Structure 1
Amino acid sequence: MTSAMFRLGILLMLVLSGNILQGQTEIFSFDKDTSLSGWIANGTGRWEIAANNSIAGTKSLHHAYDNSQAGTDYLFHAYPVVLNFDDTLIWQFKIRHSYLPSSANRWTFYIAAGNPSACMPCNETALAVGVNLNSSDDGLNLYHINANGIKRLTNGTFNWEKSIGTGTGIVKIIRLPNGTYQLWAANAADGLWQFCEEVKSNIIPASCYFGISYTYSSAQDRKLWVDDISINSKPIASDRFRVDTFYFLSSRQLWVHFTAPIDPSSINASSVYFSPSIAGIRIESGCQHILVTFPEGSYDSISGQLHLIRLKSQGGLMINDTILPISRVETRAFDIVFCELMVDPTPAQGLPPFEYIECYNRSNHDIGMSKWVLSNGSTKIALPNMFLPKGGYLLVTSKEANGMFNHLNHVIYELPSGFLNNEKGTLWLSNEKGEVISYVQYQGNYITDKIKREGGWSLEIIDPNNPCGGAGNWTASRSLSGGTPGYANSVAGKNPDRKMPFLS
């Protein structure tokens, strides 16, 4: 028996046994509730606890708003427990949507979110499960929703319309300590669990709230019921409240993310401070992060230490006093370079048939790209809050390609159709100050192979350390799939600039 089969067998026993953790289980069943006290909605009268057509017990949560127009309504609740992402977590709920799913009629269950709203995008990474958030295949999927937009983590192998339809479904999500998520579903009519798929993600989402979002067309409101929401988590160990990651979003903004939600009352001038002291530093906190903003126009580089002293989580855990070494070097021209362009993606050789632009961080430090702009001279694309690690690749591709490059770490699905001219073009990448960091002029005839010039092959830079090498430093990809998005170029090699400068 393979290890994967053994793990699946163990998980099946866990699923069939119900709540299996020796931890704290919170169950939201609406039988005894008479009001939605403690829940946060986007307006009054949007939701109700109703006996009409309940899906569990005598009463269920029901969307109640009679809207004459299409809309989206949501309902969130603060987490009653601190989720322990170092151990096994289990979420489960029942749901009935008495209208077949579509892109205009869909539900989303936010397993973990930083704000009590149906954010798309979200400043802090949210984890959600739903149908047709950014597709129309009717598949049940897990999603990350963050500043980059919606990223589908799974492949939608469980078809909600065919397996559940307008009946009641039961959804269970199991997260293992190694970051593997298991997605399970059952039709309440027979209660037989079906393993949908699994995916691994080491991103820890913000977990201050959970909730439901319902998007509907004008005649399809009031057709959603939810019940028996359960969350099972072992208590978090006292030494597990710590910094998860930190990086510069921009030249002035430092983002510090934690493993659990922060108690905002514990943040003050003596618990979070920078040394050496800099006048005008601003400290702001979110659900699970701290944002440190340095004064405007003061520093080409920032070097020092961020002190986190006696900071508490919402569950009352005290962080071990932590000193973070902070160093930010001013981003210079060509620290990030354009390194691959798919200007004519068809006929596809093995990659999704969409244009893409790949950038590479060739510097020796991570670079925050918040408020950066990608331009072709006539159209500008604003990049979201993000950072690109040293040696990392950023792929910017078509909106229609959403989900097709999710195996890569840094993908933005914002490229409009026709952004790349097949014959020739110019691209600029500018930072938040408007300074040009990277620039390239390309021509389709850089691809000299007649067959490859018919389409489906990318232009790759040979030597990223010679970004101004022009035609002599770009050529057609040698990859059998037509390109190498997110990875080292197939034509990579040394091609230094040996041409002497001259006056013209």
Structure 2
Amino acid sequence: IFLLADQPDPALANGYLLEAGENGSLDALKLFRQDAGARTLLATGQPGLVAGDPTDIHLRMKRTVAGEWQLEAASGNGVLQLQFTVPDATYGGGSDRYFGFQCVYTATRKDKFYFDDISIQPDVPDLQAPLLLSAEALNANTVQATFNESLDSLSAIDPAHYQIDNGIGMPVSVLLLPDRRTVNLNLLSPLSSGNYQLQTLAVQDMVGNESGVQTIDFQFVNITTAEEFDILINEIMADPTPSVGLPDAEWVELYNRSGKTLDLA
């Protein structure tokens, strides 16, 4: 994918291109600078991201006025994850620059390329603070919160920016996941079965936009393993033949006498 080129001939152009597709299980997206046809590797993304057959990916490349390149990518309909950030301002943009695709393939692959939802927009400053999208209790001691954009690595892991009601309070630690939009809140006091509300404050994105107070509800159900006498066989229908007025079916009715939520797997 020629992201920026000073002429329409890809063999001679100066500019930048994103390459996808080699022939191994560790194939990754690679950003190159091209100088009169000679290519210099600038950055490499996650190994194996484009190794599938077929490969279905969603890309978002950003280039700032200062010349910093940032690539986010996702497989299929997955969440975009940061692949790399690298500076290179050798060639600037402008109305006389070109964008395009170059496909290199064998005869049997000539109809295997599809491109859609292509959008090229100016470098508009990000003025929006991170939006809290969801919260989910992974277990009694971990709550996962997801935002709509990449977070500042220091702001995201500050426990003071998170609060859970019903006596839980702040997490003891926060882990920022590789997608940079999701955090795991590690709790000192375990959750009990019930409804909770997570409040976030002063969480910043990667350019410093800071969110105000945001709240979102979530639920936790404490699922435990059944112990002796927790479950009773309350009723049995044995599918008698002939049925003699009884249902022509069979079932076993279990009764949970423990008051707990049980895992019967």
TM bucket (normalised to shorter chain) is 0.3 to 0.5
Q: TM-score, normalised by structure 1?
A: 0.27
- Rg larger for: 2
TM-score normalised per structure 2? 0.46
